[in-house]
Structure 1
Amino acid sequence: MIKAEMLTDKGLMKIEFFEADAPIHVKNFVDLSKSGFYDGLTFHRVIPDFVIQGGDPDGTGAGGPGYSIPCELTGNNQYHDRGVLSMAHRGRNTGGSQFFICHSRRNTAHLDRNHTCFGKVVEGLEVIDAIREGSKIIKVTIIEDEVA
């Protein structure tokens, strides 16, 4: 199982990924994280009781890694709930590096099977509520557990 620790200036969030449901998105996030892509970026969009969004190297909401990945919308975990990590995009199959984390299930049902859910914050949920526009991602560390 692959996990991540996202250290922000508001605290630490521990993430577990939905590898079976969204392998392309998980690999993409892992590869970007290992390269240091997310380190130092900000949460450029924060909508209370909805989402916090980050992963834009430009900080404008229009930036990305220079490529797009296809949506993965058919898995069992494709429901936006508190702590769910999902891919932001400008339309189907245009995601790249921008992601959002949901505040709650309220106000997010319309995102189900439209944006790929690829993980969930399992520790540090209170950090989601503390994030404000401009809050920084200090470092994303990937933890790959050995399967016996």
Structure 2
Amino acid sequence: MKNISKICWLIALVLIIIILGVLGFGYYKKKTLNIPNPTVTMEIENYGTVKLELYPEFAPEAVKNFITLANNGYYNGVKFHRVVKDFMIQGGDSKGDGTGSPTFADLYNSDDENAKYKYSNGHDATSTSDYNIKGEFIANGYKNNTLNLTEGTLAMARADYTSYSPTLAEQSYNSAGSQFFIMTTNNHTNLDGYYAGFGKVIEGMDVVHNIENVECKAASTDENSDGENSSNQNAEISTPVTDVKISSVTVDTHGVEYGKPDTIEPFNYMKWLYAQYGMDYTE
């Protein structure tokens, strides 16, 4: 029995070494063979092509997440749902209104309802569970991302729960999922260090500026969507009158395997709010 146990342990050890070797070889190839960073080709219906370079050296988890979702087809057919002139264009939400989140089914390209997944903290998840990734920027304690949000920078969008309570900064910082934005000017240095930049436009900035100048209407008072309150005078004028649709997004990793991102459980704002009043929250 002892010999069998030793053999099992040896087999497990060999498998672990092989897996680590495969992943490590991808990074070895990139560092030693001067392989280019991942390049993104984004086709936008009626507008043209935007090419971007991704920067895993600044935000590796954001890059892993974007590559995986893009090459799984998640962004195909998704809109730029929020456009603010002299600021940025934002897309990547499968719901098309700023309220959507990616699920493990999107990340693993599987709709198997019986599949069992886990968040990086070990908590159980299913194929339909939403996930977020950690905010890779200075304000969140991540010092390696020094990329400023200048014109053409690609960055992860996230929620801002601090508008409800200043105690929710950490929850805000770690709320990115699938949504991204592309900066259209250099005039927002106040965002540097507060959002995870992870790439840059290398071709097609004229396409981005054309989208920036589309006619927009008021968003809903709560989200960037067509709601009953879209005529509210205080609503942001940021929802394109005519849909700006992404036909396809593909990423060429030049043979490097970047793997899946670390995942975290999304913050449940309603549960938190109920708890402030000593109430139980049920979905």
TM-score, length of structure 2 as denominator length: 0.50
Larger Rg: 2
How far apart in 1 are the matches of 2:210 and 2:74? 23
Deviations 1:105-128, CA, capped at 9 Å, x for gaps: 11x211111110000011100011
How far apart in 2 are the matches of 1:103 and 1:29? 20
User: Comparing both structures, which one devotes a greater share of its residues to helix?
Assistant: 2
How far apart in 2 are the matches of 1:56 and 1:76? 24
Q: CA deviation at 1:22?
A: 0.4
**C-alpha contact 2:146 2:193 (8 A) present in aligned 1:** no
**2:250 corresponds to:** 141
How many residues are matched?
146
**C-alpha contact 2:59 2:136 (8 A) present in aligned 1:** yes
How far apart in 2 are the matches of 1:117 and 1:64? 19
Higher relative contact order (CA 8 A, sep 6+): 1
Deviations 1:45-84, CA, capped at 9 Å, x for gaps: 0000100000011111111102100011123542001110
1:31-42 matches, cutoff 5 A:
31-42=68-79
**1:7 and 2:29 matched:** no
RMSD: 1.3
Letter in 2 for 1:21: F
Q: 1:26 aligns with which of 63, 75, 85?
A: 63
Misfit runs of 4+, over 6 Å: none
User: Comparing both structures, which one devotes a greater share of its residues to strand?
Assistant: 1
How far apart in 2 are the matches of 1:30 and 1:144? 8
Q: Secondary structure at the match of 1:104?
A: coil
1:1-148 matches, cutoff 5 A:
1-9=37-45, 10-65=47-102, 66-73=130-137, 74-90=143-159, 91-106=172-187, 108-131=188-211, 132=214, 133=240, 134-146=243-255
How far apart in 2 are the matches of 1:75 and 1:49? 28
How far apart in 2 are the matches of 1:40 and 1:119? 21
TM-score, length of structure 1 as denominator length: 0.94
Letter in 2 for 1:121: V
**C-alpha contact 1:55 1:64 (8 A) present in aligned 2:** no
How far apart in 1 are the matches of 2:49 and 2:70? 15
Letter in 2 for 1:95: A
